[in-house]
Structure 1
Amino acid sequence: MKNTARRLLLAAGIAAIAFAAPAAAQDAGMKRWKQGTGWGWVWGPEDEVGALNEMTDASRAAALRLAAQGRAYDLGLPYDRNSYRWPGHNPGEIMTFRTPEGVARQRDLPFTTAEQGNTGHTRWHSSAMFISDNVATQIDGLAHITHGADNHWYNNFRADQWTGDFGVRKADVTTIPPIVARGVMIDVAGQKGMEALPSNYEITVADLEAALRAQNVDVTPGTVALVRTGTARFWGENGSDHAKIGQHDTAGIGMAAARWLVEQKGAMMIASDTSGLEVLPPRPADSQFVGGSFNPVHVYLLVNQGVHIGEFHNMERLAADRVYEFAYVATTNAIRGTVAGTALRPLALR
């Protein structure tokens, strides 16, 4: 009975977030964000996009006006089979499938032979990839995290209805629209004068406010908020120093900071330079806020609020140049059924 009651209370809490009446726009033309509540399940029962619905031609044009200097910052991290990853995801392998030498030796494609006219010896390289949809620089799709005994994700899509043999069939990565939005980096490590935040450090609301004050910028509704811990500075060529990266990778935002960014500031997406955005292990109160979870901020953002999560975004050049406001541009690989855009190269344009 206790577990049943808890589930009912959790469902009621989600419903309160999901079906709150949309408020009038409070900033930047937002149609569905409500201060004190955030986003939620407010775009109808078939919606698979979440808070990114709020982008418009006007908001994209406004964001691009921030790119007056024409300078591009690559936020992507290079990835290979040795790169650091969260242990819940498979390693990747890049396997050479065809080589110039192999094409010549195999002779299995007649058009590649001299007898068929290929006297100039045109050949090629191609690779087969076995790779997780959740590695390196990525954007978590809304189907990535499920919660509850019914394994539901955003907008109450459930695994027993929408998980298939070839990936999810609702809110997969193909539903993430091209993202062009105002971006703000919140350099918490820089404001504290640290190379990187220590293990298990919880970024608080006070930390975010202090960094924003120091930077003289603010998060406004419709912003992509990027929180810097300094972890990406240890990635190097391929993220192979697992011990050093892992030492700092557990720093991140707690539930209070996540709620502040979404419910009070209107962040449309939240990203960081770690593999998981949130502090680990979670604080007990954070876990219980969503009824018990090892990833409560993920549950809150992806499932309850429809807010996408960016991970392993490289903000080191932004931090070095003290660039805090920019046009954030990202598109994901459109592989149907996958739950995250993986090994990406988002841009900060200034």
Structure 2
Amino acid sequence: MDVETQAGLDGLSRRGLFGAAAAGGIGATGLGLLTAERAGAQAAGVPVKQWREGRGWGWVWGRDDEVGALNELGPELAAKALRLARGRVYDLGLAYDRSSFKFAGHARGEITTFRSPDGQFAEGDRPEITTGNSSRTSYASCLNSISDNVATQIDGLAHIYQGRDNHAYNSFKAADIVGDRGVLKCGVETIPPIVAPATLVDVAGFVGKDPLPAGYAIGPDLIRRTLAAQNVEIDVLDVVLIRTGTAASWLRGGGVGRNHTLLKRSDSAGISVSAARYLVEQRGALMVGSDTSGLEVTPPKEQLPGIGTSFNPVHVYLLVQQGVHILEFNNLERLARDRVYKFAYVLTPNKIVGNVAATVQRPIALA
């Protein structure tokens, strides 16, 4: 699939959009305003730069862009989010250790004590320990060997590749950007600090199956009915978090997801391709996430048109085609218990250069 076909949702490709702007004498600022006006966005005083209803985003931020939809972040959106905060803080991160459940395609984490108090004195290889240290001061440090795709995480735009040319977001090809020491484009260090309004869609609570059964597909109609029952709407540029109840299973596994058999069941519940398109193209979701390891239903119940079959078509759609980051394994249990459906979502991803996801994160919700 060529660049024009991949990026040109509804016939509006990156090249076509910027080419039309140049031909008409429209600068970058004017182009953003024009697109926002066409979007008819309902972001309540927040400028919308490039989202367009019926298209979403796509590859519209320029040939060298590595940020995607998060280019929409700004002071107005942060201020809107913080107006939702009234003093309650919710920890959305899940604790992780070497026994924790994970997607089988990722490495298990190991934590090793690299320096111990007794070991330093026994080895005697550090001058600060052996010389002028009559108080016997010592320290401990650990070595972490861990996948960048475990526990509470944000998927970066270099995570998924598609097509015979192995391209990621914005036509970046794996042969050009995936090195032996991480990725050279779209690494997690490019993800800005995130402060944005968010909406919880408690599907498990609405359908009365908590957690949702294995392979349970969440489509657009179910999302709409859940929102109606919650008496809330998704605003343009909201972070959208889908609750399946899987985090509750994680917490029952010693607090760190050790109960793999139980987790495997509900972890395969998730959104369909149609739901992903609805959230991005119709509702303007800035990011989409859930309390599972992969957000989408597995095995997939439908595919993206025009690209053939995929084991994770929602990832292809969000990360590759739209430049929308994915949030996984968020602990949504306390939010659901307190029926908090609108809140500020705050996440500052780590800046490990070259990682394709930010792993074992600790986002918070302010409500």
| TM-score of the pair, normalised by structure 1 | 0.94
1:257 corresponding residue in structure 2 = 275
Query: Which ranges in structure 2 are unaligned for 5 or more consecutive residues?
Result: 18-34
**Native 8 Å contact 1:18 1:39 kept in 2:** no
The yes-or-no answer on 1:14 pairing with 2:29 is no
1:74 aligns to what? 91
Cα distance, 1:23 vs. partner? 4.3
What is aligned with 1:212? 227
In the TM superposition, residue 287 of structure 1 has moved relative to its aligned partner by: 4.9
CA distance in 2, matches of 1:223, 1:259: 15
- 5 Å-filtered alignment, 1:194-273, equals 194-236=209-251, 237-273=255-291
CA contact (8 A) 1:18 1:304 kept: no
Pairwise CA distance, 1:97:
0.3
> How far apart, CA to CA, are the structure 2 residues paired with 1:227 and 1:244?
19
Residue 172 of structure 2: which of 119, 143, 157 is its match?
157
Deviation at 1:194, TM superposition (A): 2.0
Residue equivalent to 2:205: 190
Q: Cα distance, 1:247 vs. partner?
A: 0.8
For 1:289 and 1:98, the matched residues in 2 are separated by: 54
One of 328, 338, 349 as aligned partner of 2:345 = 328
Q: Output the amino acid matched with 1:270.
A: V
Partner-residue secondary structure (3-state), 1:79: coil
Alignment coverage as a number of residue pairs: 339
* Cα pair 1:287 1:294 within 8 Å, conserved: no
Residue 347 of structure 1: aligned partner: 364
Question: What does 1:103-122 correspond to in 2, within 5 Å?
Answer: 103-113=120-130, 116-122=131-137
Root mean square deviation, CA, Å: 1.4
Aligned-partner Cα distance in 2 for 1:204–1:222: 20
Q: How far is the alpha carbon of 1:13 from its aligned partner?
A: 4.5
Partner of 2:42: 27
Distance 1:310 1:17, change over 3 A: farther
Name 2:27's counterpart in structure 1.
none
CA contact (8 A) 1:27 1:220 kept: yes
Using the TM superposition, give the Cα deviation of residue 288 of structure 1 relative to its aligned residue in structure 2, in angstroms: 4.7
What secondary structure, in the 3-state scheme, does the structure 2 residue paired with 1:286 have?
Answer: coil
Q: Deviations over 1:27-78 (max 9, x none)?
A: 322110000000111110000000010011111011111112x111000000
Q: How does 1:13-92 map to 2 (within 5 A)?
A: 13-15=6-8, 16=11, 18-19=13-14, 21=17, 22-24=35-37, 26-28=41-43, 29-68=47-86, 70-92=87-109
Instruction: Output one character per residue of 1:302-337: Cα deviation in whole Å (capped at 9) or x when no partner.
Output: 000000000000000111111100000001110001
Moved more, 252-261 or 212-221: 212-221
Identical columns (%): 54
Q: Report the CA distance between 1:290 and its aligned residue.
A: 3.4
- SS of 2:167's equivalent? coil
CA–CA distance in structure 1, aligned partners of residues 126 and 341 of structure 2: 53
The Cα offsets for residues 136-171 of structure 1, whole Å up to 9 and x where unpaired, read as 000000000011111110000111111111111010
What TM-score does the superposition give when structure 2 sets the normalisation length?
Answer: 0.90
**Aligned counterpart, 2:26:** none
CA distance in structure 1 between the partners assigned to 2:317 and 2:342 by the alignment = 26
Q: Which residue of 2 aligns with 1:147?
A: 162
Q: 1:124 aligns with which of 126, 130, 139?
A: 139
2: distance between equivalents of 1:17 and 1:144?
24
Q: Secondary structure at the match of 1:235?
A: helix
Distance 1:194 1:67 in 2: 30
Task: State the secondary structure of the residue aligned to 1:226.
Answer: strand
Q: 1:297 aligns with which of 289, 297, 314?
A: 314
Cα distance per residue 1:256-302 (max 9 Å; x no partner): 1000000000001001000000000012x415553221110000000
Report the secondary structure of 2:210's partner residue: coil
Inter-partner Cα distance in structure 2 for 1:12 and 1:309: 23
Residues 163 and 307, structure 2, Cα contact 8 Å, conserved in 1: no
Unaligned runs of 5+ in 1: 1-6
Is 2:145 the partner of 1:135?
no
1:65-119 deviation per Cα after TM superposition (whole angstroms, max 9, x unaligned):
1112x11100000000000000110101001101111011111011112xx2211
Secondary structure of the structure 1 residue equivalent to 2:303: helix
Q: Does 1:316 align with 2:340?
A: no
1:3 maps to: none
**2:194/2:348 contact within 8 Å kept:** yes
